[in-house]
Amino acid sequence: METKQFKAESKRLLDMMINSIYTHKEIFLRELISNASDAIDKLYFKSLTDSSVGIKRDDFAINLKLDKENRTITVSDNGIGMTEEDLENNLGTIANSGSLAFKKDNDLGEDVDIIGQFGVGFYSTFMVAKEVTVYTKAYGSDKAYKWQSDGVEGYTVEECDKEQAGTEIVLKLKDNTDDENYDKYLEQYEIQSLVKKYSDYIRFPIKMEVEHTHYDEKGENPEIHKEIETLNSMTPIWKKNKSELKDEDYNNFYKEKFMDYQDPITHIHSKNEGIATYDALLYIPSKAPFDYYSKDFEKGLQLYSSGVMIMDKCSDLLPDYFSFVKGLVDSEDLSLNISREMLQLDRQLKIIAKNVEKSIKNELSKLLKNDREKYIKFFDTFGLQLKFGIYQSYGAAKDTLQELLMFPSSFDGNKVTLDEYVSRMKEGQDVIYYACGESIPRIEMLPQIELVKDKGFEVLYFTQDVDEFAIKMMMEYKGKKFKSVSDGDLDLETEEEKEETKKTSEENQDMFKFMQESLDGKVKDVRLSTKLKSHPVCLSAEGNITIEMEKVLNSMPQNDGNKVTAEKCLELNPSHPVFEKLKSLYTADKDKLAEYTKILYSQALLIEGMSIENPVEFANLICGLMV
Ligand code: ADP
């Protein structure tokens, strides 16, 4: 018989796994049981909608068998089974090599416990077995197959006899070594405790023949009784009372079910009766999945109807801005054979989704209040998604999300909420000031920010592209409008200063007009600045598009050629010595004034973090000044 090779990626993973200093070999059992349970789920589901299946709920089971003599463990199920093609696709390759992608992205060393982290399922058997044999028959098929592999050389597939549909997996344990005792997996106590630890909630019985020793009244003459026992309690964790469960139970369930290797930031377990009756178990992961910000990411919660899973990723249960939430909803109000299309229209589901959204919001608010450090960790990971939520909903999600937002600020360099900002606004301050830039140090260097801070106003720092777009959608927070420090009219002066500015402006109108014209329409206006302290120039924008928005919009990939431009004004600082120089040039040397204007304009662009249109001209002008 021909031995087939594993696909290349599988080979690498197998190799890594077998040679890793892996400490949790015991999870192989959990993986096999989960697969068996999934396979039964599939057939059970079919049996509910198709009477020809003919298996009753109570007849479904997972059986374990330990054989000390031959050193084998057998896990069998009467689930859906696999066809020859399934065997090839499922056990010959690791179809979804998410773990490899993750490893590449994160540049982890070879010895990292990657297998345990991801539970690569079936392959974990090779951590304890030197040979694995799978007998399987797909439901509805008349052929059965035997798949066999030593995990290194590849695998073989041949036809075999098997009466009932389902799968039987036989592990031939590795030989014991000095460091590793594989024999322990042949002990009933070990297996009983592993099932309790990892698979207690599995909804189908996990059965095994268990030996009990009985003694007579005198405590003598031991007699061994053998009995088939169910090892798991079969109650799904979300059906249990909260008082019975510890954080650890919730976290273990999460890691196993949702293939994460880190504990979640927090969990929400809610039981609801009333207009909608359902149990929900929700988790906020501590890290974004490697594909979270990519197109491949699929949001959604698992959906159960009275304990039977009917959908793996029900996206209607989660708004996009909470797409990072993992978990499940179990409701008796939903019909089993509801289609995806019907589900969308389901009234119950809509009510549940609304409630789920509320509980997530409340949990996050609670976290922000009670454990700020943890909340900031959350926000650093998923805050971007919340801001996108406000932007993409055109502000409709504002009421849900605005209190959850945080921004770094000039207050003490830490992240603050809008509430905190507003609560310490100065008397007479009626706007929320913000400044945009690619990083905090860059923002702090902006000329426009100096005066605002000097006047004692706190400034929010917007370092993410979406920030300004999101607050434009919000318009205001608690009646306070947002104002960029780069806005044209900051209105920070006293009446006296205003008079003074007006006077100087009028005196220099002709010069400003000349300067504006010499910039060939690149700026709408040249004028006096009221917000500069020590810098000679800055740019401000008029109208709806700010300078930051121009930058962001033009850097988007879909924006091909359609450049967006803010209406810019070049602002001059009348108390800077350069201003005097300009004035004297206006009467003495207009050509030079035109050149200086170009230099100043280019400087202002650079300070804003924008590129200048003609760097060579700029360089030449500077050189001209030097020689
Ligand atoms: P995962 O369970 O994460 O998909 P596995 O490597 O554990 O990855 O299994 C790969 C696939 O093999 C499963 O998705 C399933 O289609 C199939 N499979 C594994 N075990 C069984 C089983 N006992 N019965 C039917 N199909 C199975």
3-state SS, 183-220, equals HHHHCHHHHHHHHHHHHCCCCCCEEEEEEEEECCCCCC
Distance from residue 34's CA to the centre of ligand 1 (Å): 9
Distance CA 77, CA 64 (A): 9
Ligand 1, residues 27, 90, 124, 135: which to mutate, most atoms within 8 A of Cβ? 90
The pTM of the full predicted model, rounded to 2 decimals, is 0.69
Q: Both tokens of residue 597?
A: 């204007």
Q: Both tokens of residue 624?
A: 């001209």
Distance from residue 289's CA to the centre of ligand 1 (Å): 22
Q: Both tokens of residue 347?
A: 């009234």
What DSSP designation does 140 have?
A: T
Atom of ligand 1 nearest to the CA of 121: 7
Q: Are 114 and 14 within 8 A, CB to CB? A: no
Q: Are 486 and 537 within 8 A, CB to CB? A: no
User: Alpha helix locations (H) across 230-297?
Assistant: 247-257
Question: Is 41 touching ligand 1 by the criterion CB < 6 Å?
Answer: no
Distance CA 436, CA 455 (A): 19
Distance CA 13, CA 19 (A): 10
Q: Please provide residue 272's backbone torsions phi and psi, each rounded to the nearest 5 degrees.
A: -130, 135
Distance CA 320, CA 336 (A): 26
Distance CA 436, CA 446 (A): 9
Residue 105: its pLDDT value, please? 43
**Parallel, antiparallel, or unpaired: how do β-strands 480-484 and 431-436 relate?**
parallel
Which domains are delineated in the chain?
11-230 (3.30.565.10), 237-372 (3.30.230.80), 405-484 (3.40.50.11260), 495-626 (1.20.120.790)
Question: Is 383 touching ligand 1 by the criterion CB < 6 Å?
Answer: no
Q: Are 38 and 199 within 8 A, CB to CB? A: no
Ligand 1, residues 33, 34, 37, 38: which to mutate, most atoms within 8 A of Cβ? 38
Amino acid found at 561: G
What DSSP designation does 487 have?
A: B
Residue 19: its pLDDT value, please? 56
Per-residue pLDDT of 165-216, as tens digits, reads 999 999 999 999 988 899 999 999 999 999 987 788 788 999 999 998 889 9
Of 61, 89, 88, whose CA–CA distance to 75 is shortest?
Answer: 61
Q: Both tokens of residue 250?
A: 């919730």
Residue 560: its pLDDT value, please? 61
Point out which residues pair with 572 in neighbouring strands. 528, 537
Q: How far is CA 146 from CA 14, 130, 135, 155, in A?
A: 21, 17, 5, 10
If 0-12 CB within 10 Å is exposed, 13-18 middle and 19+ buried, where does residue 435 land? buried
At which residue do the structure tokens 């059906």 appear?
A: 239
At which residue do the structure tokens 């309790």 appear?
A: 196
Of 554, 548, 572, 540, whose CA–CA distance to 436 is shortest?
Answer: 548
Contacts of 472 (CB under 8 A, 6+ apart): 482
Distance CA 74, CA 125 (A): 12
Q: Are 335 and 329 within 8 A, CB to CB? A: no
At which residue do the structure tokens 């599988």 appear?
A: 10
Distance CA 31, CA 115 (A): 11
Q: Is 301 helix (H, G, I), strand (E, B) or coil?
A: strand
What stretches in the chain show pLDDT beneath 70?
A: 7-24, 92-120, 336-340, 558-561
Residue 110: its pLDDT value, please? 41
Distance from residue 415's CA to the centre of ligand 1 (Å): 45
Residue 90: its pLDDT value, please? 81
Q: Is 395 helix (H, G, I), strand (E, B) or coil?
A: coil
Of 102, 562, 113, whose CA–CA distance to 294 is shortest?
Answer: 102
